[in-house]
Amino acid sequence: MRTPKRQKKKPSRGGRQAAAAKGRVFTLAEVARELGGEVFGDPATRLTGLAPLERAADGDLSWVADARRAKGAAASHAGALLVSDREAAGGKPGVLVKNPAAAMAAFSERLFPPSRPKPGVERGAFVSPKARLGKGVAIAAGASVAAGARIGDRTILHPGARVGEDATVGADCVLYPNAVVRDRCAVGDRCILHAGAVIGADGFGYVWDGEAQRKIPQRGIVRLEDDVEIGANSAVDRATFGETVVGRGTKIDNLVQIGHNCVVAEHVILCAQVGLAGSSRVGRRAVLAGQVGVNDHVTIGEGAVMTGQTGVTADAPAGAVLSGVPEMPHRQWLRSSALFARLPELSRRLEDLARRLERLEKGGGG
């Protein structure tokens, strides 16, 4: 007798993302208590996971980030919502909070805390006897800590992570596989370096000596302040002299390049493939979208926004929203882009007018 094939269990409407966030059962009342929010609907509503609106299932808690997402709330299968306005919930139960997206992040962190390796140095790791380790540090096999390095309490080094000579890494940091903090560089507390991030590679400095490109020694360091996150395969180059600085709370995406002697202020966002040339400066809470390029010695003011693929060639004032190459005010760039699409038509019309004008000048009439 042939054994019937085992059927694959169909995923819930929440899909993979919701399934990945499944945990213990919790109620709407617990959510409100954890977040300091106000329940509307049944406080005993039982939930089992977290998911975005379009993928949420009946047992999932979701959130409405802003007014534009409110239409999706009514169509969503979510069991309950985090909202800043009851009207945005589309008739579903939920919790009123000031900032739904931030509240969801906070609740997710509390409900599904990341796993931590056991403290200690695994066999196969190398830690110099001249290094100093704080309490509760976890160093995986394949990681290395050089002489004179200092590692703060509860910091985690995954396989292949490297902390160089006389470098400092603060408390509660995570260095993922193959993240590198090179010699003498300093990393603050609660920083995250994703896989392949390099802090303190040599700055790109050369001078033509008449026969060849001569390397300029890069003697400075990189200093990351507290709560900085560096994405996978991103690089922050050491200064020629002094420091390359990334300010407190700044978040840097994957594949970002920060050149030598740059200063990036607090709470900046740098999206994927941003490139900052040497000695450029980025002001507090500025946002540089994907593939923005910034010339050397250029300053971007506080709160400025550079949209995707902007080429910044001159100083940008505080609060500016710029686009294009070279950079221009975003509204001007939108008008220019619309005009660019019409250039073939306008060119034909101009050529036609030129021919007609030529005939008139020759006395041939229109």
Q: Residues with catalytic annotation?
A: 260
Phi and psi at 179, nearest 5°, equal -75, 145
What is d(CA 9, CA 320) in angstroms, rounded to the nearest whole number? 52
Q: Strands 94-96, 311-312: parallel, antiparallel or unpaired by DSSP?
A: unpaired
Q: Nearest-CA neighbor of 154 among 129, 120, 131?
A: 120
For residue 5, is it left (φ>0), alpha (ψ between -120 and 50) or beta? beta
Q: Strand 213-215 and strand 206-208: pairing?
A: antiparallel
Distance CA 232, CA 274 (A): 13
In Å, how far are 86, 236, 243, 329, 355 from 306, measured between CA atoms? Answer: 34, 20, 25, 10, 43
Burial of residue 21 (number of CB atoms within 10 Å: 0-12, 13-18, 19+): middle
Tokens of 281: 């400066």
CA atoms within 13 A of residue 305's CA, in its CB half-sphere: 6
- Please give the Cα distance from 185 to 193 (Å, whole number): 14
In sign, the C-alpha dihedral spanning 248, 253, 254, 256 is negative
CA 279 to chain centre: 22
Adjacent-strand bridge partners of 328: 323
Q: Kindly tell me the sign of the dihedral angle through the C-alpha atoms of 49, 51, 57, 58.
A: positive
